[in-house]
Amino acid sequence: MRRADLATLFDYGYWATRQVLASAEQVSVEQFTAPPTFTYRNLRGTLVHTLDVEWSWRIRLRGEHPDLWDTSLAESDYPNVQALADHWGRDEEEMRAWIGGLSDDDLERITELGNTDRYPLWWYLAHILTHSGAQRRDAVLILTDFSHAPPELEFLYYADWQRDNP
């Protein structure tokens, strides 16, 4: 995979996440933290988990110490959507900077993470993207249940947005 293509896919993911966060800002704090009724986590838990996976995988793949990445972000640190969106914005900047510094050869290089986890770096980055997409789907279902579904999140809607917002 080429770095430019990967950067586009991450850009799409961040665009889709911002759509979900904008819709989440419309729910009450009670809804944001309400116990889940049909998914594993509530809305806050789903979104915090999504950010946590993006953040922890990045620092793990950069070779940072397990004490940093082998802990979970605490839901209680995000009392509202804005606190979560602020952290996500900082994390997005860090991810973009890291990806921007990678070469196509870096992405193809085998990354060993122990046990049988031995894949090209881009495979792990694809895992981050697909995991986030699945979690956004859960968030959208929760938001739809609260009558606050975000706009369409499919890739070609992002492409249209990109075209219209150069």
Q: Give the CATH number of the domain where residue 88 resides.
A: 1.20.120.450
Residue 152 has a pLDDT of 93
111-158: per-residue pLDDT in tens?
Answer: 999 888 999 999 999 999 999 999 999 999 999 999 999 999 999 999
71-110: per-residue pLDDT in tens?
Answer: 999 999 999 999 999 999 999 999 999 999 999 999 999 9
Residue 166 has a pLDDT of 85
Of 35, 56, 57, residue with least CA distance to 46: 35
Q: Does the predicted model carry a pTM greater than 0.85?
A: yes
The continuous run of DSSP H or E covering 119 comes out as strand 118-120
How many structural domains does the chain have? Answer: 1
CA angle centred on 14, ends 89 and 65, rounded to 5°: 60
19-76: per-residue pLDDT in tens?
Answer: 999 999 999 999 999 998 888 899 999 999 999 999 999 999 999 999 889 999 999 9
Range of the domain at 99: 3-164
Residue 38 has a pLDDT of 87
How high does pLDDT run on average in the chain?
96
Of 54, 129, 49, 128, residue with least CA distance to 90: 54
